[in-house]
Structure 1
Amino acid sequence: MHIKWCTSCYGFLDLPFYNVSLTWDKRVDDLVSRLTIPEMVGQMSRGSGGTFPIPRLGIKPYAFYSECLRGDVKQPATPFPEALGLAAAFSTDVIYNVARATGIELRALNTMFSNNGSYNNGQGLSCFSPVINIMRDPRWGRNDETYGEDPYFTGVYAAAFVQGLQGNHPRYLLTNAGCKHFDAYGGPETDPMSRMEFNAVVTMRDWRTTFFPAFRACVKAGTYNIMCSYNSVNGIPACAHKQLLTDILREEWGFKGYVVSDEGAIENIISRHHYLNNTIDTIAACIDAGCNLELEPHSSLNIYSSIAQAVAAGRVEESRLRELMKPMWYTRMRLGEFDPPEMNPYKEYNVSVVQSPEHRQLALDSAMKTFVLLKNQNSFLPLNGSHFSKMAVIGPMADNPDAQTGDYSSPLD
């Protein structure tokens, strides 16, 4: 069966990558074979701002940038408890249900924006969540985004979160998960240096027993993307670390998805790590390592926008670009972008599910399960009601309602 339909107001298309009777691999191969180098650059360099459209193939822009750690961070969707609180529930059912509800609301919002023509407004279906770094230093400002310090527990939670976000349909993804930040991240914010540039010196034993287990669990659970981190690992920036991104992640663990840089991490290879000193060498190193997509900084020109020059200089093979493109297009296909909408049951979700009574109740129930009670042994704290009548809330977040909700919460409405 060969289906033809108008997919994007660019006309009726009759191309194999739209043919739902072909295998995913054949469809991806066909699509990638049709791309020019500038078109590939417009995809690989636009992880943050939204990819460029390809009108001649009827391909719309796509926003890879969505944060889904505890609800949709961009829209006034249902706000769920932060990750560290959810960890205190010690329940994979809680984390799965929160991820599932988050994915449903993200899908509904995506459909709404697609229908009103604002597809490339940042409301994509590809999540940079969950955060599964191991919490080792209280000076790191992102500890509340993690599930704590235990590698096994973090891996169990990561798998449940991935499965909840991605759904269980045999053909389509609800949304796609992305585990971050790979790897050995989570050091102090600024002391002795910025987390954007520090070098994590890690023994292989510690790497494999502390930092790898949760990411490997994430891969086993079927995550579609992994984010490489800002830091260096044993002297090599993570997004240019071939041993990390290819030898271990892909060849040893069998990861088939795409690797995206943290925002500005590729630029930092030059400006902060001083590992390399020019754009072409940096592109060559990251492409060789296996970084598919740059999450470019908003403040300056991104590095991957110069991929064509690296190809022209003989530093990057065109065939290598096409191979790195495939996992990104495969993901978009599994999200249903190139199939008739009526085939995908997830496209039936509408905005009625956003902040629905069921999801609000789930948020409340989940929050109740995050409470941790402490025993006042030997009356160590003066908590008898006769000793005080008022309580003071002090500190930099005492009167900051935005900060009180924690990192990556949905915006207050």
Structure 2
Amino acid sequence: MISLKSFVAIFLLVESSLQDFPFRNPNLSWNTRVDDLVGRLTLDEITLQMAKGGAGINGPAPAISRLGIGPYQWNSECLHGEVGQMATAYPQSIGLAASWSYDVVHRMAEATSEAVRANHNKAVNNHNYADRTGLSCFSPVLNIMRDPRWGRNQETYGEDPYLSGMFGIAFVKGLQGNHSRYIRANGGCKHFNVHGGPENIPSFRWNFNSKVSMRDWRTTFLPAFRYCVKAGAYSLMCSYNSINGVPACANKQLLTDILRKEWGFHGYVVSDMEAVENIKNAFHYRSNDVDTAAVALEAGLNLELAAPDYKKETLMSISEAVRQGQLAESVVRERVKPLFYTRMRHGEFDPPNMNPYSSIGMSVIENQSHRNMAIEAAMKSFVLLKNDGTLPLKTQPYNKIAVSAIPLDFSFIIRDIHFEK
């Protein structure tokens, strides 16, 4: 039996050795630290980190105990307040767009990220890595409202690429904060790209092929995401659909040629939920998991968001793809680096006292300033219509009035007013 004194000595020795890893040295450059960390990982460990970005049993990314690295939950939503945790709710994006206010969106995102960080700090202190406890937001939505059949138009800022781009900048900057070293929470602009309809007619959005001209692609669907990259977003989410026959999450032209080479993006790309599986299952672009994992990583994917009930994520085949020679291990190691870079910028591998965001506590949750922000945002989202003589409604010559409306959470958009004699 080991004595308590010997146990404490061994514990302190192990703790000291973990702290000696270069990736934990805050005096080194970010790239040096990331390279050191990734260089210590086995291929199987990397595979798990890239496959476990999903919900339910497919998250969190597991701990790497031998390096003292804890689990991390990537699955979080923050579009109009943090979803799934205690937090203040704000108007949907389409309402915020009606405010025409960069400032409102920016301050709402700031308040949202305070709640995200507070809930994360509490969760980690309690060793809780369940869904919605991470700092990586799948927000904002920068898709263009073009097809009224899409069921998520209320999550967008409308049909103007420029307005969507400006609000994307406001959201990302508000969410991530202005600290020179750390980010409060990281933005993840979605759904990249040419997404937004139809919902299920004539085809389901999971296997919808967007046929788009280069001119329309460049002038309508890409600009808002380019502004997102310029704002410094750490992540983009590739969409369900294919673009001119190539699934977005396997589209090298989109994820590498445009996003990284042309725009200079250095962050990570996460798939929409099940979008990687659908490369094989819905689009039949590849016929098995090994081929699908290889084509997705070669295209530029970094992280898989699988459905909660998937027994085996597609990216769990990364190691086999390398062994079969379909994927270079050097590509895999490069793809995992942005994931750990992001976690470093959260402050995960630095002493907590260096990071001001690590001290954000639950007192910010639904505090008065956040509630006031929600009221202000709601008030500024109201649209005053000019009365052209319709009001007040006259009882003659009509005796029946039918109002057609589209439900949006707890509000409605009036679609049509019909008068009958």
- TM-score of the superposed pair, with normalisation by structure 2: 0.89
Q: Is the 8 A contact 1:127 1:175 kept in 2?
A: yes
Following superposition, the deviation at residue 119 of structure 1 comes to: 3.6
Equivalence map 1:54-69=2 (5 Å):
54-69=64-79
Aligned counterpart, 2:174: 164
Is 1:47 matched up with 2:53?
yes
Secondary structure of the residue that 1:260 maps to in structure 2? Answer: strand
Q: Determine what percentage of the aligned residue pairs are the same residue.
A: 55
Aligned counterpart, 1:372: 383
Q: Is the 8 A contact 2:75 2:131 kept in 1?
A: no
Aligned counterpart, 1:90: 100
Equivalence map 1:83-162=2 (5 Å):
83-162=93-172
Aligned counterpart, 2:416: none
Following superposition, the deviation at residue 313 of structure 1 comes to: 0.8
Find 1:330's aligned residue among 329, 334, 341: 341
Aligned counterpart, 2:216: 206
Find 1:11's aligned residue among 5, 8, 15: 15
Following superposition, the deviation at residue 120 of structure 1 comes to: 4.5
Q: Which amino acid letter does the alignment assign opposite residue 319 of structure 1?
A: S
Q: Is the 8 A contact 1:17 1:28 kept in 2?
A: yes
Aligned counterpart, 1:295: 305
Q: Is the 8 A contact 1:10 1:55 kept in 2?
A: no
Q: Which amino acid letter does the alignment assign opposite residue 49 of structure 2?
A: Q
Secondary structure of the residue that 2:298 maps to in structure 1? Answer: helix
Q: 1:143 to 1:9 in 2, by over 3 A?
A: farther
Q: 1:273 to 1:9 in 2, by over 3 A?
A: farther
Structure 1 runs, 4 residues or longer, greater than 6 Å off:
7-10, 384-388, 391-396
Distance 1:9 1:193 in 2: 60
Equivalence map 1:314-353=2 (5 Å):
314-353=325-364
Aligned counterpart, 2:291: 281
User: Any stretches of 5+ residues in structure 2 without a counterpart?
Assistant: 1-10, 413-421
Following superposition, the deviation at residue 297 of structure 1 comes to: 1.4
Q: Is the 8 A contact 2:193 2:239 kept in 1?
A: yes
Of the two structures, which has the highest relative contact order with CA contacts closer than 8 Å and spacing of 6 or more? Answer: 1
Distance 2:203 2:166 in 1: 32
Aligned counterpart, 1:78: 88
Q: Is the 8 A contact 1:8 1:58 kept in 2?
A: no
Q: 1:106 to 1:9 in 2, by over 3 A?
A: farther
Aligned counterpart, 1:354: 365
Q: 1:269 to 1:150 in 2, by over 3 A?
A: same
Following superposition, the deviation at residue 377 of structure 1 comes to: 0.5
Following superposition, the deviation at residue 404 of structure 1 comes to: 2.1
Is 1:228 matched up with 2:238?
yes
Q: 1:271 to 1:385 in 2, by over 3 A?
A: same
Q: Is the 8 A contact 2:183 2:346 kept in 1?
A: yes
Distance 1:320 1:368 in 2: 49
Aligned counterpart, 2:417: none
| Alignment deviations for residues 290-321 of structure 1 (CA, whole Å, 9 cap, x no partner) | 00000011222210011111111111111111
User: Any stretches of 5+ residues in structure 1 without a counterpart?
Assistant: 1-6, 407-413
Aligned counterpart, 1:269: 279
Q: Is the 8 A contact 2:85 2:132 kept in 1?
A: no
Q: Is the 8 A contact 1:246 1:290 kept in 2?
A: yes
Find 1:25's aligned residue among 23, 26, 31: 31
Aligned counterpart, 1:184: 194
Q: 1:330 to 1:214 in 2, by over 3 A?
A: same
Q: Is the 8 A contact 1:29 1:326 kept in 2?
A: yes
Q: Which amino acid letter does the alignment assign opposite residue 11 of structure 1?
A: E
Aligned counterpart, 1:237: 247
Distance 1:395 1:131 in 2: 23
| Alignment deviations for residues 108-158 of structure 1 (CA, whole Å, 9 cap, x no partner) | 111111112214454000011000000001110000000000001100110
Is 1:310 matched up with 2:316?
no
Secondary structure of the residue that 1:259 maps to in structure 2? Answer: strand
Following superposition, the deviation at residue 280 of structure 1 comes to: 1.2
Q: Is the 8 A contact 1:10 1:58 kept in 2?
A: no
Secondary structure of the residue that 1:179 maps to in structure 2? Answer: strand
Q: 1:158 to 1:305 in 2, by over 3 A?
A: same
Q: Is the 8 A contact 1:8 1:60 kept in 2?
A: no
Count of matched residue positions in the alignment of Structure 1 and Structure 2: 394
Q: Which amino acid letter does the alignment assign opposite residue 277 of structure 2?
A: E
Distance 1:268 1:257 in 2: 23
Aligned counterpart, 1:411: none
Following superposition, the deviation at residue 230 of structure 1 comes to: 0.1
Following superposition, the deviation at residue 11 of structure 1 comes to: 3.1
| Alignment deviations for residues 239-262 of structure 1 (CA, whole Å, 9 cap, x no partner) | 000000000000000000000000
Q: 1:396 to 1:223 in 2, by over 3 A?
A: closer
Find 2:410's aligned residue among 374, 386, 404: 404
Q: Is the 8 A contact 2:83 2:132 kept in 1?
A: no
Secondary structure of the residue that 1:11 maps to in structure 2? Answer: helix
Q: 1:10 to 1:364 in 2, by over 3 A?
A: farther
Distance 2:138 2:13 in 1: 30
Q: Which amino acid letter does the alignment assign opposite residue 326 of structure 2?
A: R
- TM-score of the superposed pair, with normalisation by structure 1: 0.91
Distance 1:396 1:217 in 2: 30
| Alignment deviations for residues 65-101 of structure 1 (CA, whole Å, 9 cap, x no partner) | 1101011101131001110000000000000000000
Q: 1:29 to 1:95 in 2, by over 3 A?
A: same
Q: 1:152 to 1:34 in 2, by over 3 A?
A: same
Q: 1:227 to 1:53 in 2, by over 3 A?
A: same
Distance 1:101 1:34 in 2: 37
